[in-house]
Copies of this chain bind each other. A is one copy, B any other.
């Protein structure tokens, strides 16, 4: 193996780290729909958003036209602590699969947060600090975003309040300790520390929580505290913007070795990793400069793209956030508690939703036992224990590589390996013990989710 001079890991130099984020909206003919004020059904103004978000981030959120946005030097310095991340040629996986396909993955797990989330966490914390805030509030599902934000806040000396989806809080006690080690306060959600949490607990006693519900609590916690703003780890345009560092590095690394991908694959929960990875490639596609198959992979138990509706919906269960137009299962949809693999958000990034709606990308839903099977195969040959979330992309990358084996095509497949699974061993244990099951929501359950959609403008 490794006979064609492409190294196992393509590392850019620190000088090659992009100095600007790329705003794919500037190249989109059909812009993502604006966030709406749920009371007036009018687009949210910067002023209205200012009640919740930092000023500079609102500018980024609302800017559909500036193509390149400078990365501040302090953020670049932080990036240099763990970036550039390697683009890895999966020689061992190719050999295991005996596929003619060439497989690459952009590995974002080599930092303590264990995922790509740090790319946006440091940006958001930086702008909060710059605005003179005391701290930030947020929610976390699998815990990667919360850990990333805790790290960024520790670095900048900001207070950090994290509402963690209860099922993850219980399955991942050590995640909580990592966040505490970085100085964060972590509360399982729903909790009785907020009004919305108490309301949800009363309505759904015994609920294992959801991201949508944790968002509601974190927003309330921000609103009731002086000097705090709310930050979000996915879905929003600003987050996808920060995450383009992934795709830009990937693009540069591929170019350096004259590699042209045929298929680009990423897992999709709220869309931050996928959006970040594909943006520069999507830009080429939008400008007619190149063509790629782009595939979003989501869990069959939370299938926003493949079974959701493209509609205005709340981002949170408590219905206190603005409305976003996106593929959604309804803000009241909560995935089955047997679902272990993350990516449990009911909606999807408005940018990606628009691109998907316009036929510029595909989506597939996969079941979790097949995801863990792919994860285990990958771990044993590539030596990296992947996060369950990331393993959704591995599953489809393997499937596509196996199709190449059948057809004999030497396609080049690039996928995003967003993170590591060190804190997901309860789920791995379930799989190792043969005790993992799959769950696909019934049509009735999906319809029930849709019933909770707000009146469309």
Q: How far is the CA of A318 from the CA of B371 in the complex (A)?
A: 44
Are B2 and A77 in touch, CB under 8 angstroms? yes
Q: How many copies of the polypeptide does the oligomer hold?
A: 2
CB of A380 within 8 A of CB of B420, answer no
- Interface 1/0s, chain A 1-21, versus B by CB < 8 A? 110000111010110000000
A80 partner, pick from B9, B13, B376, beta carbons under 8 A: B9
* Inter-chain contacts of A182 with B (CB < 8 A): 379-380
**A384 CA to B81 CA, complexed, in Å:** 9
**CB of A432 closer than 8 Å to a CB of B:** yes
Pick from B110, B155, B428: contact of A380, CB below 8 A. B155
Q: Once bound together, how far apart are the Cα atoms of A155 and B112, in whole Å? A: 25
Judged by a CB distance under 8 angstroms, whether A364 is at the interface is: no
Contact of A178 among B1, B173, B382, B425 (CB under 8 A): B425
A115→B426 CA distance, assembly (Å) = 22
List B contacts of A425 (CB < 8 A). 173-174, 177-178
Contact A112 B379 (CB under 8 A): yes
| Contacting pair A154 B380 (CB below 8 A) | yes
From residue A138, how far is it (CB to closest CB) to chain B in Å? 18
Cβ of A183 under 8 Å from chain B: yes
CB neighbours of A288 from chain B (8 A): none
A15 CB to nearest B CB, Å? 8
Residue in chain B with minimal CB distance to A420 = B112
Query: Complex: how many Å from CA A426 to CA B385?
Result: 21
Encode contact with B along A393-432: 1 for CB under 8 Å, 0 otherwise: 0000000000000000000000000001011011011001
Nearest residue, chain B, Cβ from A425: B174
Which residues of B lie under 8 Å from residue A379 when comparing CB positions? 112, 154, 181-182
Shortest CB distance A118–B (Å)? 8
Contact, CB under 8 Å: B81 / A382: yes
Measured in the bound complex, the distance between the Cα atoms of B382 and A9 in whole Å is 23
* Interface status of A180 (Cβ within 8 A of chain B): yes
- Compute how far the CA of A111 lies from the CA of B8 in the bound complex, rounded to whole angstroms: 14
Q: Mark A175-189, 1 if CB is under 8 A from B, else 0.
A: 001101111000000
Contact present for A9 and B1 (CB under 8 Å): no
Q: Which residue of B lies closest to A386 (CB)?
A: B112
Chain B residue contacts of A376, Cβ below 8 A: 181
6 smallest beta-carbon distances between A and B, as pairs: A174-B425, A154-B380, A177-B425, A422-B422, A8-B80, A112-B385
Could you jot down 13 A-B contacts, CB within 8 Å? A2-B80, A7-B14, A7-B80, A8-B80, A11-B11, A111-B383, A154-B380, A174-B426, A177-B432, A178-B422, A180-B429, A181-B376, A183-B380
For the A-B complex with A178-B385, A180-B432 known, give 6 more contacts whose Cβ atoms are closer than 8 Å: A81-B382, A118-B383, A154-B379, A177-B425, A178-B422, A178-B428
